[in-house]
Structure 1
Amino acid sequence: MYGTILLATDGSDDAAAALDHALEIARSTGATLHAISVVETRTAYDNAIIDPEEVRENLRADAKSAVESAKSAAAEADVECHTTVAEGPPPERIIETIDEIGADAVIVGATGRSGFKRLVLGGTAEQLLESAPVPVIVIGGGLPRRRDDAEG
């Protein structure tokens, strides 16, 4: 069913939960995992107080860390993983990557690092659900945990 899975990650808690889910699916289906983190270039920090290039560099470092974490977790799970850091509007870059790699599904966290950014720009997960040409699996956002992960 799945030969290529695209994980969209920003290193948030929901993205970590999405990574766990992506690894479980990839391991059980023999799929290759591609992890992408997109640096949003339309930053809310374009003002005289904060240097926008410094903000972008920090965002690039966060994105690289997010995909490297995915690659490390995939190696531990014995799942083949490729990584990409892209720049631009996240939904657009993710959809371009779906086409480029021939992804069969996208797995994404329900919410990212910035609730404010989500309100201003529209949620990446929401936009993927509306526009992606493949199934989108959204993880987190208050969804119940799997029974074997729950306490008690």
Structure 2
Amino acid sequence: MYSDVLLATDGSECARAATSHAVDLAATYGATLHALYVIETRIGYDSGVVDPATIEDDLRAEGESVLEAVGDESRARDVTLVDRIRKGVPEREIADYVEREGIDIVVVGTRGKSAFKTILLGSTSEALVRDLSVPVVLVSADGETDSDT
């Protein structure tokens, strides 16, 4: 049914719960798990106090750490993993990845790291449910799921 599962992650509590669900899905279907971490570019990092390149480096290091944890969980379940870090607007980068890689289903946390950002810019998970043509499974921090196609 599914040969390519995408986990879109930001390392938040909900994303960690989504990781377990995505690994379970991939293991159940013998699918390849794709894990994508997007460095957000809509936020102005040029404060004059901290070098934007330093912030981007820190975010990239955070992404590498998050993807390493996904790798650990994938290896424990003998799931093939393809991991990527991209830079851009998360919902656009995720949609592009889905199209380019032929993803069958997307697993994402219901909320990211910043509740303020959700209010200000709109939720990435909401945009994915609204815009993607593949099923999207939303996972809350307690591991409860809700899916929409």
Scaled by the length of structure 2, the TM-score of the pair is 0.90
Q: Distance in 2 between matches of 1:77 and 1:141?
A: 21
Partner of 1:110: 110
Structure in which a larger fraction of residues adopt strand: 2
Counterpart residue number, 2:50: 50
Give the RMSD, CA atoms, in angstroms. 1.6
CA distance in structure 1 between the aligned counterparts of 2:67 and 2:103, rounded to whole angstroms: 17
- CA separation in 1, counterparts of 2:39 and 2:57? 9
SS at match of 2:86: strand
Residues 144 and 91 (structure 1 numbering): CA distance in 2 closer, same or farther, change over 3 Å? closer
Question: Identity of paired residues, percent?
Answer: 39
Residue 103 of structure 1 and its aligned partner are, at CA, apart by 0.5
Equivalences for residues 122-137 of structure 1 within 5 A: 122-137=122-137
CA distance in 2, matches of 1:83, 1:142: 24
May I ask how many residue pairs the two structures share in their alignment?
A: 145
- Unaligned residue ranges in structure 2 (runs of 5+): none
Q: Secondary structure at the match of 1:45?
A: coil
Name 2:36's counterpart in structure 1: 36
Q: Who is 2:64 aligned against?
A: 64
d(CA) in 1 for partners of 2:105 and 2:66? 19
Residue type of the alignment partner of 1:74: S
Q: Is the 8 A contact 2:18 2:138 kept in 1?
A: yes
The residue identity in structure 2 corresponding to 1:111 is R
Instruction: Extract structure 1 runs of 4+ deviating beyond 6 A.
Output: none
Helix, strand or coil at the partner of 2:82: strand
Following TM superposition, by how much is the alpha carbon of 1:77 offset from its aligned partner in structure 2, in angstroms? 0.8
Q: How many angstroms apart in 2 are the aligned matches of 1:46 and 1:129? A: 32
TM-score normalised according to structure 1 size = 0.88
